[in-house]
């Protein structure tokens, strides 16, 4: 069995419907009207030991709700879950011992006592053996560069420092599974890099299963081999990152800088299906095309027929654009059916 | 519970104590505020007693002692402990606690005990200094009374925690805690004897108060300290505290189990 497995997992919430204004509020007090909102439609999920999975979707898509159900703090409305072979909701404490979690918006560190004291409390809470604790602490301090702030209280830390400390706190007990909910939110590039490298290392060395929700596409490209996209409480894609790229990131863009304006070329390209021209000015423009229909050399030689090319550079569509398209609802990502 | 899991909770109590130390300035300010309050009540009662030797069966000297003991019993459970649990529920950080292999109620109780130990200790020291300036405080002579008194203070913490915990859980259904906190404080102060000794109440109210758990918080320790109860009677009162403490504990457990099933945890 997979380390994380969910079958037909659903969650719905009851929401109060209030009409606007005082009248509506009073009316609700007397005759409350509620609607049931489905946050997560029945979904199936299986994640194997050692996988790194990006779980992405727009705000309110049901990401956090799923993670909360998997981590045992929210009771599912239906379906079954097994994490490390146990039902996380029924055996919350047992499940908690085998997982680590970072919720980027919250901290598990004590606000007013030194970070290292929070850590040693975790040692007792998770009953971490002395040598494991010492090794991990030493290694984490070095990898995450925590030496300068380990003796400060969480209150005094910058966001980047706090996030590093929180990440260390979540992994001190060598959990087989770690849920990271936006672990790089609001961080600068160098801290992001540190955190990603740390996660990668832990995953490789300890076969830690990582489930990551993020809006940062750099995190995904850097860390995850598998991508799950959820929208409106439904999984709309579950597969490898490279597959989604080759399937949906078909567009390729070449930016040109040319010696003189090329009106004929512009007219010609405008007529060509599958090619989109974007003019920056008379001598700088970009050409977007489907890389399965045209080759880059086709496009470049076409342009060169019309005059001198001073410079050009090429960009492949990245996962960012794909996910953006999905968020915007422009792309029907029914990949499972297409693949079958 | 075996010895090993207890270590977790002892460790939590220890960190909570450190946390209070970090807040020492705010503790001192809080203590000063309470002192002003105590002085106001002291002078109020002094006014009531002028020209009278006894009110409701209490002499002025006994009343002074009553006020000091009330002050001590009230300060062992700080404002911080009283509001931190509801705070966790309101801001959603209860989610973080649920991710720990810890029993939520036991962990909160450990925190409360850790803080109480320090705050109670500091209050006791300051009160002793304060009392040495007052004449006529009636101190018990028997060490047994002190032992019983300490036990009853522990009982008081347990019962007060039970009340605080149940009230905090109500915050799962409300979006603000102030109303709940103030109501709880008002009810507790009245029915525990913190405002006036229960003996001053009309008969029916006194009987009602004695039937409720609140009297364990102030009434019991003051009765024991003032030696208005014999040893056997004191032990009975402490047993009653234990009963209420345990009953409220299980009520809290039941309500928690129900609440986490029912209610969405606030925030993402």
- Interval A194-213: pLDDT, tens: 999 999 999 999 999 999 99
B160's tokens = 């007060």
Kindly identify which residue of chain A lies nearest to residue B101, measuring between CA atoms. Answer: A93
Mark yes or no for CB contact B15/A113 under 8 Å.
yes
Quote the pLDDT of residue B247: 97
Cβ-based neighbour number of residue A74 at 10 Å = 25
A192 touches chain B (CB under 8 A): no
B95 touches chain A (CB under 8 A): yes
B93 touches chain A (CB under 8 A): yes
A239's tokens = 């597969």
Residues in chain A closer than 8 A to B8 (CB atoms) = 124-125, 127
Distance in Å, alpha carbon of B12 to nearest chain A alpha carbon = 7
Kindly identify which residue of chain A lies nearest to residue B107, measuring between CA atoms. Answer: A125
A175 touches chain B (CB under 8 A): no
Say yes or no to pLDDT of A177 above 90.
Answer: yes
Mutation site, B24, B27, B90, B100, interface A, largest A CB count within 10 A: B100
B100 touches chain A (CB under 8 A): yes
| Among A103, A78, A100, residue whose Cα is nearest residue A89 | A78
Mark yes or no for CB contact B99/A73 under 8 Å.
yes
DSSP reduced 3-state for A20: coil
Say yes or no to pLDDT of A339 above 50.
Answer: no
Quote the pLDDT of residue B161: 93
d(CA B152, CA B76): 12
Mark yes or no for CB contact A121/B100 under 8 Å.
no
Name, in order, each residue with C-beta under 8 angstroms of A25's C-beta and a sequence gap of 6 or more. A18
Residues in chain B closer than 8 A to A128 (CB atoms) = none
pLDDT category at A270 given cuts 50, 70, 90 is confident
Kindly identify which residue of chain A lies nearest to residue B17, measuring between CA atoms. Answer: A113
Packing angle of the helix pair B178-192, B143-169 (nearest 10 deg): 150
Cβ-based neighbour number of residue B246 at 10 Å = 13
Say yes or no to pLDDT of A89 above 60.
Answer: yes
pLDDT category at A75 given cuts 50, 70, 90 is confident
Say yes or no to pLDDT of A332 above 70.
Answer: no
B18 touches chain A (CB under 8 A): yes
Mark yes or no for CB contact A112/B23 under 8 Å.
yes
Lowest mean pLDDT among A40-49, A253-262, A315-324: A315-324
Say yes or no to pLDDT of A62 above 90.
Answer: no
Mark yes or no for CB contact A103/B95 under 8 Å.
yes
Residues in chain B closer than 8 A to A96 (CB atoms) = 98-102
Quote the pLDDT of residue A29: 76
Quote the pLDDT of residue B123: 81
Query: Read out DSSP for chain B?
Result: --HHHHHHHHHHHHHHHHHHHHTHHHHHHHHHHHHHHHHHHHHHHHHHHTT-SEETTEEHHHHHHHHHHHHHHHHTS-HHHHHHHHHHHHHTTHHHHHTSSS-HHHHHHHHHHHHHHHHHHHHHHHHHHHHHTSS-------HHHHHHHHHHHHHHHHHHHHHHHHHHHGGGT-S-SHHHHHHHHHHHHHHHTSSS-GGGS-HHHHHHHHHSGGGGTTHHHHHHHTT-S-HHHHHHHHHHHHHHHHHHHHHHHHHHHHHHHH-PPS--
The residue ranking higher by pLDDT, A34 or A72, is: A72
Say yes or no to pLDDT of A274 above 60.
Answer: yes
Residue range A119-124: mean pLDDT, rounded:
94
Quote the pLDDT of residue B18: 87
Quote the pLDDT of residue A334: 55
How many beta-carbon pairs under 8 angstroms link A with B?
76
Quote the pLDDT of residue A331: 61
Q: Which residue from A96, A113, A118 is facing B100, i.e. has the nearest CB?
A: A96
Name, in order, each residue with C-beta under 8 angstroms of B91's C-beta and a sequence gap of 6 or more. B266, B267
A110 touches chain B (CB under 8 A): yes
Say yes or no to pLDDT of A150 above 90.
Answer: yes
Q: What's the ipTM?
A: 0.83
pLDDT category at A146 given cuts 50, 70, 90 is very high
Residues in chain A closer than 8 A to B98 (CB atoms) = 72-73, 92, 96
Residue reference for tokens 């020291």? B125
Beta bridge partners of A86: A83
Does this model's pTM top 0.90?
no
Quote the pLDDT of residue A340: 35
Lowest mean pLDDT among A132-141, A252-261, B238-247: A252-261
Q: Which residue from B10, B101, B268 is facing A93, i.e. has the nearest CB?
A: B101
Q: Are B159 and B219 in contact (CB under 8 A)?
A: no
Mean pLDDT by 10 residues, chain B (268 residues): 72 88 77 81 90 87 89 78 82 87 93 86 81 80 91 93 91 78 88 89 92 93 90 94 96 91 56
Say yes or no to pLDDT of A327 above 90.
Answer: no
The residue ranking higher by pLDDT, A220 or B26, is: A220
Mark yes or no for CB contact B11/A64 under 8 Å.
no
Quote the pLDDT of residue B267: 44
């Amino acid at each position: 069995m997979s380390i994380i497995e969910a079958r037909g997992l659903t969650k719905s919430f009851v929401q109060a419907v209030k009409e606007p204004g005082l009248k509506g509020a009073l009316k609700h007090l007397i005759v409350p009207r509620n609607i049931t909102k489905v946050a997560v439609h029945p979904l199936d999920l299986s994640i194997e030991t050692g996988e790194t999975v990006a779980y992405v979707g727009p705000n309110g898509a049901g990401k956090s709700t799923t993670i909360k159900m998997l981590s045992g703090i929210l009771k599912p409305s239906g379906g079954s879950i097994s994490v490390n072979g146990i039902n996380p909701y029924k055996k919350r404490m047992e499940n908690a011992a085998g997982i680590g979690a970072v919720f980027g918006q919250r901290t598990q560190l004590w606000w007013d006592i030194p970070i290292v004291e929070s850590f040693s409390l975790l040692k007792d809470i998770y009953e971490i053996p002395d040598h494991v604790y010492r090794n991990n602490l030493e290694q984490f301090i070095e990898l995450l560069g925590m030496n300068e702030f380990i003796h400060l209280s969480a209150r005094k830390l910058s966001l980047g420092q706090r996030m590093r400390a929180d990440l260390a706190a979540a992994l001190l007990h060598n959990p087989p599974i770690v849920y990271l909910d936006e672990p790089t939110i609001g961080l600068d590039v160098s801290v992001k890099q540190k955190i990603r490298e740390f996660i990668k290392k832990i995953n490789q060395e300890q076969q830690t299963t990582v489930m990551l929700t993020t809006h940062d596409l750099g995190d995904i490209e850097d860390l995850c081999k598998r991508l799950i996209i959820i929208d409106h409480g439904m999984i709309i894609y579950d597969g490898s990152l490279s597959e989604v790229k080759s399937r949906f990131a078909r567009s390729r863009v070449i930016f040109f800088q040319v010696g003189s304006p090329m009106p004929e070329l512009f007219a010609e390209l405008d007529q060509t299906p599958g090619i989109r021209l974007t003019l920056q000015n008379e001598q700088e423009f970009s050409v977007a095309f489907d890389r399965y229909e045209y080759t880059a050399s086709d496009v470049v030689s076409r342009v060169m027929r019309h005059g001198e090319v001073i410079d050009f550079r090429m960009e492949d569509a990245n996962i960012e654009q794909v996910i953006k398209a999905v968020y915007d609802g422009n792309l029907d990502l029914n990949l499972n059916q297409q693949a079958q | 519970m075996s010895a090993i899991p207890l270590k977790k909770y002892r460790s939590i109590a220890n960190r909570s104590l450190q946390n209070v130390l970090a807040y020492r300035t705010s503790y001192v300010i809080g203590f000063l505020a309470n002192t002003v309050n105590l002085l106001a009540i002291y002078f109020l009662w002094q006014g009531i007693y002028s020209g009278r030797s006894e009110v409701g069966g209490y002499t002025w000297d006994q009343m002074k002692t009553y006020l000091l003991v009330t002050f001590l019993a009230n300060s062992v459970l700080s404002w911080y402990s009283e509001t931190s649990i509801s705070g966790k529920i309101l801001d959603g950080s209860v989610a973080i606690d649920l991710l720990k292999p810890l029993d939520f109620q036991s962990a909160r109780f450990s925190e409360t005990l850790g803080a109480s130990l320090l705050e109670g200790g500091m209050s006791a020291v300051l009160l002793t200094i304060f009392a040495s300036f007052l004449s006529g405080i009636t101190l018990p002579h028997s060490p047994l009374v002190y032992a019983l008194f300490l036990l009853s203070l522990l009982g008081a913490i347990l019962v007060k925690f039970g009340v605080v915990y149940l009230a905090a859980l109500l915050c799962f259904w409300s979006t603000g805690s102030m109303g709940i906190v103030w109501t709880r404080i008002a009810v507790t102060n009245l029915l525990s004897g913190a405002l006036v000794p229960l003996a001053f109440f009309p008969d029916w109210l006194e009987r009602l108060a004695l039937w409720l758990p609140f009297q364990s918080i102030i009434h019991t320790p003051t009765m024991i300290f003032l030696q208005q109860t014999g040893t056997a009677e004191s032990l009975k009162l402490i047993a009653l505290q234990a009963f209420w403490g345990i009953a409220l504990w299980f009520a809290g457990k039941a309500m928690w189990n129900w609440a986490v099933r029912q209610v969405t945890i606030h925030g993402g």
